[in-house]
Amino acid sequence: MPQPKKFKFKNIDNTGFSTSNNTEGGRLSNKDGSINLRKTGIPFWKRVSLYHMLLRLSRWKFLLSVFLFYTIMNLLFASIYILIGIENLAGTHDGKNLLNSFQQAFFFSSQTLTTVGYGHISPVSLSANIVASLESFIGILSFALVTGLLYGRFTRPKAYIMFSKNLLVSPHKGQRAIMVRIATYKDNHLADAEAQVTLSMHLNVNGKKVRQFFELPLEIKKINSLALSWTMVHVIDQESPLYGMSYNDMRAADLEFLYHIKGFDDHFSNIVQQRTSYVFSEIIYSAKFTPAFHRSEDNSTTILELDKLSEYQAVELPAVENQP
């Protein structure tokens, strides 16, 4: 286990994560930038925000949730219409066949819930009218909520940043460097893009294994425009907490690199941000990124190949410096 060293900059303690090795479990941050954390101690319905959950669901899961809600509501009200008697709905036929009656009640429910009302079937009794009125009221509220959620999902600011699958330890100006490459994968333009990198590593302090955090300075911390790809470089010099560490030292330190990117998106006219992290198993040693963009054949434009963002090739590294 690496021993603590004296750096020209101090470890930081305002990350929001614990430095205790006994309380942590797995990586600190997931690949999608969410915190690897599970909360307990209070009921589930108090911990979960349905609104935020529906905003963050993937597209197909959101549509499936809406479809399931719509189907369950129709099944529920169709069952109620059957319980109060299908004869209370004028326009129905063959009321002795339960399956046929349920089918008619189900489609009447779907017309009432969506307030379409074709008029072929209509409630005639007080009980049926009360249930139909309640269902139409729930339908109005439900579709208003779904419309709001759809609007919120479409207008929610998002960075649309693609990170390289791996973090590379590469040669750079006669030294070693940590490199990660990013690019925007939509046709949005990200201006004033700024990156912050925090290193989490385990060290022996007074015979006790603790987690310490260090802010890693980047060779270029901010760029005016993220038009192409951006390779973020942290040089492993004497000011780096990684200085003098070999491959085995890095593995023993159980490294995790936390990346935070933010910038101004002119499509949303808002600040957007995105996070990710890399653990030791996602580090490629002795490699460098291969070019991901090139000039078009007619020399009229530049082509960025997003499928090559993570491609790399093996290289030799400079010798590991002696630990100070």
Question: What would the pLDDT profile of 211-237 be if each residue is shown by its tens digit?
Answer: 889 999 999 999 999 989 999 999 999
Q: Is 138 a member of any domain?
A: yes
pTM of the model: 0.80
pLDDT at 324: 39
**206 phi-psi bin (left φ>0, alpha ψ -120 to 50, beta other):** left
Question: What span, in angstroms and rounded, lies between the C-alpha atoms of 155 and 268?
Answer: 8
Q: Is 280 a member of any domain?
A: yes
Domain enclosing residue 307, as ranges: 161-314
Please give the structure tokens belonging to residue 121: 């079937």
Q: Over 60: is that where the pLDDT of 244 sits?
A: yes
Ramachandran angles phi, psi of 162, nearest 5°: -105, 125
- Highest mean pLDDT: which range of 6-20, 82-96, 281-295: 281-295
> Which CATH number covers residue 205?
2.60.40.1400
Please give the structure tokens belonging to residue 81: 């219409």
Vertex 286 angle, CA 284 and 287, to 5°? 70
> Which CATH number covers residue 86?
1.10.287.70
| For range 104-119, the mean pLDDT | 88
Q: Over 60: is that where the pLDDT of 293 sits?
A: yes
Residues 185 and 220 reside in one and the same domain: yes
Residues 308 and 184 reside in one and the same domain: yes
Q: Over 60: is that where the pLDDT of 1 sits?
A: no
Domain edge (last residue) among 99, 129, 155: 155
Residues 130 and 182 reside in one and the same domain: no
pLDDT at 77: 95
Please give the structure tokens belonging to residue 272: 């957007």
Residues 171 and 289 reside in one and the same domain: yes
The pLDDT-based confidence of 92 (bands split at 50, 70, 90) is confident
Cross-strand partners of 162? 183
Please give the structure tokens belonging to residue 46: 């108090």
**254 phi-psi bin (left φ>0, alpha ψ -120 to 50, beta other):** left
Q: Is 2 a member of any domain?
A: no
Q: Kindly report, residue by residue over 155-208, the tens digit of the pLDDT.
A: 888 889 999 999 999 999 999 999 999 999 988 889 999 999 999 988 877 777
Q: Is 324 a member of any domain?
A: no
The pLDDT-based confidence of 12 (bands split at 50, 70, 90) is low
Q: Over 50: is that where the pLDDT of 323 sits?
A: no
pLDDT at 16: 64
- Highest mean pLDDT: which range of 88-97, 161-170, 261-270: 161-170
